[in-house]
Structure 1
Amino acid sequence: MKITATQESLLRYFQIQQLLFHEAQLLDSWRLNEWLDLFTEDGGYFVPPTDVSAEEADPAKHLYYIADNRARLEERVIRLDKRTCHAEFPRSKVQHLVSNILLESDNGTEVGVSAGFVVYRTKNGHTDTFIGHYRYLLREVEGELKIVKKTCNLALDGLRPQAKISIIL
């Protein structure tokens, strides 16, 4: 594979990297409303099942752990922000690590990106580890990149011992 870098492609890569790192920082500090602002109005957040390949997973055919359109995302953020959200009150301590960012497609308006991730969640003296890869569809909106779709493909056999995803990956 021949890789060539122009100033324009390097700038685009830097913008994508900064967006993904900024998103991780917002999630780690539980600034969920600001995180939500990173999405377009038609944005979505998905966590497919672990027993189906990432290429085959389809929310219309498979039971996803999470399949949120923008309205459901807003409700998730509201719920996670409340003291009555027992799964996350008190809040977990989380650390999102993002690596291996690859620009997969760029038509000038929308950008396809993949990245590896590790998310650590610590609560009540127990640490859960979520590993996998992200798939993003980004769109330029008024001069800045926004998330149209974020898919978190877990590289796990299942959710044991975690048994649930109460945080945002």
Structure 2
Amino acid sequence: MTTPISAASITGSPTDAQLVEFVTREARLLDQQRHEEWLELFTPDGHYWVPLEHGQTDPRLTCSLMYEDLLLLKVRVERLKGRRTFSQQPQSRCHHLLQTPMVDVRDEGANRYVTWTPMHYVEARRDEQTLYAAWATHHLTVVDGRLRMTLKRVDLVNCDAAFGNIQLFP
């Protein structure tokens, strides 16, 4: 049985503690394979981005490891659950080890908040385990009293290395 992960309703601007709690809750949902709940954290126009180049500034004009909108994220989640997805039998599991997230931008007027989190991410399946070091940047906004992601950007330290298939979400 999974433990419910609640998010406090926000009136006014979120506190730094609420922004940090959002980032840690988001990682926990991924680690517990609660992908549908994780998808609900995105705004309808939200994106998940893993750049291919260090310092990459544009996900559309330069190739990325991943640049997915909500529709593509939903397709990926459905694929992960599919019985005919042989690369997920048995299912991959992941673990996000986060340093304390830092709040980089607080723009209450624009309802825009940005956090930056150094992390290690482990993806495991059978006897294979892959470790990635990364920085996660969450672009957040408050919608109907709840924090939501407009963008999650994950910069892998060795983004320009040759990778196998990354099955889940660093």
**Most deviating of 71-80 and 37-46:** 71-80
Aligned to 1:20: 23
Question: Aligned AA for 1:76?
Answer: R
Aligned to 1:145: 147
Question: Aligned AA for 2:61?
Answer: K
User: CA shift at 1:86, angstroms?
Assistant: 2.2
Structure 1: distance between partners of 2:161 and 2:76: 20
User: CA shift at 1:93, angstroms?
Assistant: 2.3
* 2:51/2:159 contact within 8 Å kept: no
Question: Aligned AA for 2:168?
Answer: I
Q: Structure 1, residues 56-90: CA drift from partner, whole Å, max 9, x if none?
A: 33222211111101111111111112122222221
Tell me if 1:93 matches 2:110: no
Structure 2: distance between partners of 1:110 and 1:139: 5
How high is the sequence identity, in percent, across the aligned residues? 24
User: CA shift at 1:122, angstroms?
Assistant: 1.6
Question: Aligned AA for 1:46?
Answer: W
Q: Structure 1, residues 11-52: CA drift from partner, whole Å, max 9, x if none?
A: 611111111111111111111001001111111101110xx2
Aligned to 2:79: 79
Give the SS at the match of 1:65: strand
Structure 1 residue ranges, 4+ long, deviating more than 6 angstroms after superposition: none
Tell me if 1:64 matches 2:64: yes
Question: Aligned AA for 1:126?
Answer: E
* 2:20/2:100 contact within 8 Å kept: no
Structure 1: distance between partners of 2:46 and 2:99: 23
Structure 2: distance between partners of 1:141 and 1:152: 23
Give the SS at the match of 1:91: coil
User: CA shift at 1:140, angstroms?
Assistant: 0.4
Aligned to 2:168: 167
Instruction: Work out the number of aligned pairs and report it.
Output: 155
* TM-score w.r.t. length of structure 2: 0.84
Q: Which runs of 5+ in 2 are unaligned?
A: 1-13
* 1:110/1:137 contact within 8 Å kept: yes
* TM-score w.r.t. length of structure 1: 0.85
Give the SS at the match of 2:16: helix
